[in-house]
């Protein structure tokens, strides 16, 4: 396959014989086992991959031959925490096979993914696994899928059962039997009983194919009783799947090869070629997007490729898994690597700044079976691995430096589970920044934050499994041992009422002494007002040159706080009186006096703590609304309202203290059975309840 790509990358006929398909489905659906079986069916020497935490969290890729067609299979992780790898699979593929366990059904995350694919018209098929487990029944599973995803979900095959096991499939198009009962696949004619079962499903399939392909002539022939040939139906089936209006179902047994050939046949005959892919590109001119176009799979056209996955190795350096949408790439080419996330998102991303870098490719490899082999070139429709592109990041565009464009990057959900980490030793502390940078390069779903106020390093992750994987990578891959600690929030202090304070800094120790006295009045301001300093000194009690010194001392104490070591905010300080000495007064003395005055004004009961609030928007299926609102109430949330749509989804808005949200990404998944999502953005500060204030003060005393 590599040599074919090298010699004929400019041939559109080669592109027409490529299929890029991603397998998606929940963890435990049998998806990865099916992926392995599909490879084994075409690569006799393949003995399977070791399935471990890293394998379950990463996108896997393999190519196999089906007659004259080259099928690139992508196995996307089933756990919802690894959404970045899932998005990479969807970006690289031209069609998706949803793998559904007959015994478990469709989980909410898979259902949401189906609707997401529908929004971009991605062609889809369905493989039903585990039909021989428990009380699984093909008819009932099919009925559930049709109820969920519509009548366009129709079986291309129905299973043959014998002794409680699936021994083959009946083709509803050709009427033949794919029989595996002898240990290997054979084709035979259907018995009378099997024909009866075929007829039970065939009419709905044929009508669905013709209707969704909008073939009026074929529909007229069918209604007149004409016997339609299999090749006629295949052509219409292809058209219906291409347009993402028809979704064939194939029963498979993930423990053996039953159904593997049938699924590959559907992929070969009915799934789209890269020539049908549509990708919107734009030019970046003076920091703005212009001239949106649509590129198709032309191997001799302008180069348009996208980095769908990034790897980072301490020895091999950075590697890029790249989908070529248009044009061709040679192994020694010079390309432009562009990333312009801020233009599309509307906000800068410090971890992934915008860039345009001209780089020379350090090597090109193409998948062949389960391995990557070196190649001289590759063209439209292929997924390749490019070595040593030092600036390339996931979702970056690769184009010709003389004709640059940018592919619209895909959006990923914000990582919302914070994990605070601390290096175990001084040596680990030295290695940690480099290791964290490599994590961020290869995984765009992690955000790394260094909080100055709480003096913590925070990994923002998509869930517990994601957090566990990142911590394991730090230790196993980069040799950095870390410990976890509770996530702290940045509190604030505030006055609750008016007060006054006298600051007296008088010292005499030979030579010039230090003398400064100031009297201040303090009053709280509304939330978010900040700090005001007012000078009401009369008669020169505090010389004019020292009034800024008092303010400087007050500001310094505001940063240190007066109750628990947190910054003091939203306060007006008025300087009303003071005393000075003609010799011993100084700038530093009045700074100290201003600081002491503020601390003296902080009398018991007049200062409290403020906690940060986030505006939280939770989106769930409407039947989870009650549970969500009850839970938000238990987190001291202030409800702001709800909005619903026509798809029985409801959005709940509330102001919630940040301290109550540290595990919400995990808790919401349980409350809404995986169907919920949420966003959070900083809103402001509000007073903490008295018991929590006391607890925070005690904790601060212990830390200091």
**Confidence category of residue 8, pLDDT binned at 50, 70, 90:** very low
Largest CA distance in the chain: 117
Is the same domain home to 79 and 171?
yes
Q: Which residues contact 67 (CB under 8 A, 6 or more apart)?
A: 268
Q: List pLDDT tens digits, range 302-315.
A: 999 999 999 887 77
Q: Which of 137-141, 203-207, 503-507 has the lowest mean pLDDT?
A: 203-207
Q: Last residue of some domain: 407, 441, 472? A: 407
Do 482 and 471 touch, CB atoms closer than 8 A?
A: yes
From 584, 605, 626, the end of a domain falls on 605
pLDDT score, position 510: 65
Q: What is the CATH number of the domain that holds 446?
A: 3.30.70.870
pLDDT tier at 593 (50, 70, 90 boundaries)?
very high
Q: In what order do the strands lie in the sheet with 371-374?
A: 355-360, 334-339, 397-399, 304-313, 317-326, 383-387, 364-368, 371-374
- Tell me: do 191 and 306 sit in the same domain: no
The residue ranking higher by pLDDT, 61 or 294, is 61
| Long-range contacts, 370-374 (Cβ 8 Å, 24+) | 370/39, 370/43, 370/46, 370/49, 370/62, 373/2, 374/2, 374/331
- What domain count does the chain have? 5
What is the chain's mean pLDDT, rounded? 90
pTM of the predicted model, to two decimals? 0.87
Give one word for 673, left, alpha or beta, with left for phi > 0 and alpha for psi -120 to 50.
Answer: left
Tell whether 6 is covered by a domain: no
Is residue 302 within 8 A of residue 407, CB to CB? The reply is: no
378, part of any domain = yes
Give the range among 200-204, 319-323, 600-604 with minimum mean pLDDT.
200-204
Q: Do residues 156 and 55 share a domain?
A: yes
Same domain, 496 and 450: no
Q: With respect to residue 5, please indicate whether it lies within any of the assigned structural domains.
A: no
* Arithmetic mean of pLDDT, 94-116: 90
Higher pLDDT, residue 224 or 268: 268
Does 11 map to a domain? no
> Model confidence at 6, in pLDDT bands (50, 70, 90)?
very low
What's the mean pLDDT in 512-517? Answer: 90
Mean pLDDT of all residues in 291-320 = 85
The reply to whether 392 and 312 lie within a common domain is yes
Q: Half-sphere exposure (CA, 13 Å, Cβ side) for 615?
A: 7
- Residues of the chain above pLDDT 90, percent: 61
Domain end residue (candidates: 272, 300, 315): 272
> Residue 574 — pLDDT band, cuts 50, 70, 90?
very high
3-state secondary structure of 190: coil
Are 416 and 80 contacting, i.e. CB atoms less than 8 angstroms apart?
Answer: no
Q: Is pLDDT of 499 > 90?
A: yes
Q: Determine how many CB atoms are found less than 10 A away from the CB of residue 412.
A: 15
Structure confidence at residue 263 (pLDDT) = 95
pLDDT grade for 511, boundaries at 50, 70 and 90? low
Q: Is residue 7 part of a domain?
A: no
Looking at the structure, do residues 549 and 496 belong to the same domain, yes or no? yes
Residue 412 domain-assigned?
no
Note the pLDDT tens digit of each residue in 363-389: 999 999 888 999 999 999 999 999 989
pLDDT at 170 over 80: yes
Asked which of 22-36, 252-266, 397-411, 663-677 is least confident by mean pLDDT, the reply is 252-266
Residue 291 has pLDDT above 80, yes or no: no
What confidence tens digit (pLDDT) does each residue in 409-418 have?
Answer: 888 888 999 9
Q: Are residues 209 and 292 in the same domain?
A: no
Predicted confidence band of residue 287 (pLDDT cuts 50, 70, 90): confident
- Kindly state whether residue 3 falls inside one of the protein's structural domains: no
User: Containing domain of residue 471, as a range?
Assistant: 417-485
Condensed to tens digits (0 to 9), the pLDDT of residues 438-454 reads 898 888 899 999 988 88
Do residues 105 and 33 make contact, with C-beta atoms less than 8 angstroms apart?
no
Instruction: List the CATH number of the domain containing 679.
Output: 3.30.70.240
Instruction: Choose the most confident range, by mean pLDDT, from 130-139, 231-240, 362-371.
Output: 362-371
Same domain, 635 and 670: yes
Task: Return the ∠ at Cα 284 (arms to 280 and 287), rounded to 5°.
Answer: 135
41 with 155, same domain: the answer is: yes
Q: What is the pLDDT of residue 1?
A: 41
């Amino acid at each position: 396959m590599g040599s074919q790509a090298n010699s004929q990358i400019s041939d559109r006929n080669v592109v027409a014989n490529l299929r890029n398909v991603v397998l998606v489905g929940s963890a435990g659906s049998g998806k990865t086992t099916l992926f392995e079986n599909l490879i084994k069916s075409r690569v006799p020497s393949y003995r399977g991959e070791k399935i471990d935490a890293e394998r379950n969290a990463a996108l896997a890729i393999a190519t196999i031959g089906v007659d004259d067609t080259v099928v690139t299979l992508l196995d996307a992780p089933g756990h919802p925490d690894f959404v970045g790898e899932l998005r990479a699979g969807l970006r690289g593929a031209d069609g998706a096979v949803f793998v559904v366990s007959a015994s478990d059904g469709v989980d909410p995350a898979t259902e949401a993914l189906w609707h997401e694919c529908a929004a971009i018209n991605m062609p889809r098929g369905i493989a039903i696994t585990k039909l021989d487990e428990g009380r699984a029944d093909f008819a009932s599973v099919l009925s559930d899928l049709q109820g969920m995803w519509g009548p366009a979900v129709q079986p291309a095959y129905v299973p043959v059962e014998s002794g409680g096991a699936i021994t083959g499939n009946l083709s509803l198009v050709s009427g033949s039997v794919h029989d595996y009962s002898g240990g290997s696949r054979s084709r035979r004619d259907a018995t009378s009983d099997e024909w009866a079962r075929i007829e039970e499903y065939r009419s709905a399939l044929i009508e669905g194919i013709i209707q969704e392909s909008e073939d009026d002539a074929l529909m007229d022939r069918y209604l007149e009783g004409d016997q339609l040939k299999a090749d006629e139906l295949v052509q219409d089936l292809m058209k219906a799947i291409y347009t993402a209006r028809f979704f064939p179902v194939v029963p498979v047994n993930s423990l053996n090869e039953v159904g593997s050939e049938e699924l590959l046949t559907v992929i070969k005959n009915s799934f789209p070629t890269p020539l049908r892919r549509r990708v919107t590109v734009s030019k970046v001119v003076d920091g703005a997007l212009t001239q949106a176009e649509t590129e198709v799979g032309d191997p001799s056209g302008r180069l348009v490729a996208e980095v769908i996955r990034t790897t980072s190795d301490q020895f091999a350096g950075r590697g890029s898994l790249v989908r070529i949408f248009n044009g061709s790439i040679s192994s020694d080419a010079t390309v432009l690597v562009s990333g312009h996330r801020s233009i599309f998102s509307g906000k800068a991303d410090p971890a992934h700044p915008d860039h345009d870098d001209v780089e020379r490719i350090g090597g090109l490899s193409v998948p062949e079976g389960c391995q990557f082999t070196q190649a001289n070139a590759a063209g439209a429709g292929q997924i390749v691995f490019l070595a040593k592109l030092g600036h390339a990041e996931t979702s970056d565009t690769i184009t010709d430096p003389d004709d640059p464009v940018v592919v619209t990057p895909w959006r990923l959900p914000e990582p919302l589970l914070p994990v605070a980490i601390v290096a175990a030793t001084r040596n680990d502390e030295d290695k940690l920044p480099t290791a964290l940078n490599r994590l961020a390069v290869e995984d765009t779903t992690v955000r790394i934050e260094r909080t100055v106020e709480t003096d913590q390093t925070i990994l923002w992750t998509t869930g517990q499994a994601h957090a566990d994987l990142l911590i394991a990578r730090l230790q196993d891959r980069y040799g950095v041992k870390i410990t976890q600690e509770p996530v702290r929030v940045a509190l604030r202090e505030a006055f609750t009422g008016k007060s006054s304070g006298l600051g007296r800094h008088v010292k005499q120790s030979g030579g010039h002494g230090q003398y400064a006295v100031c009297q201040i009045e303090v009053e709280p301001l509304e939330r978010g007002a900040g700090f005001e300093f007012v000078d009401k000194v009369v008669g020169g009690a505090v010389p004019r040159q020292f009034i800024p010194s008092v303010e400087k001392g007050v500001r310094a104490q505001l940063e240190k706080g007066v109750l628990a070591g947190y910054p003091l905010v939203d306060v007006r300080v008025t300087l009303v009186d003071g005393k000075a000495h003609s010799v011993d007064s100084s700038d530093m003395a009045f700074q100290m006096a201003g600081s002491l005055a503020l601390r003296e004004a902080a009398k018991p009961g007049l200062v409290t703590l403020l906690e940060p609030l986030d505006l939280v928007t939770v989106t769930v299926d409407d039947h989870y609304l009650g549970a969500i609102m009850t839970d938000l109430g238990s987190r001291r949330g202030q409800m702001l309202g709800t909005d619903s749509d026509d798809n029985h989804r409801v959005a709940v808005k509330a102001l919630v203290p940040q301290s109550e949200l540290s595990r919400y990404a995990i808790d919401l998944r349980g409350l809404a059975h995986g169907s919920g999502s949420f966003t959070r953005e900083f809103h402001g500060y509000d007073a903490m309840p008295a018991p929590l204030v006391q607890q925070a003060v005690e904790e601060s005393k212990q830390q200091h």
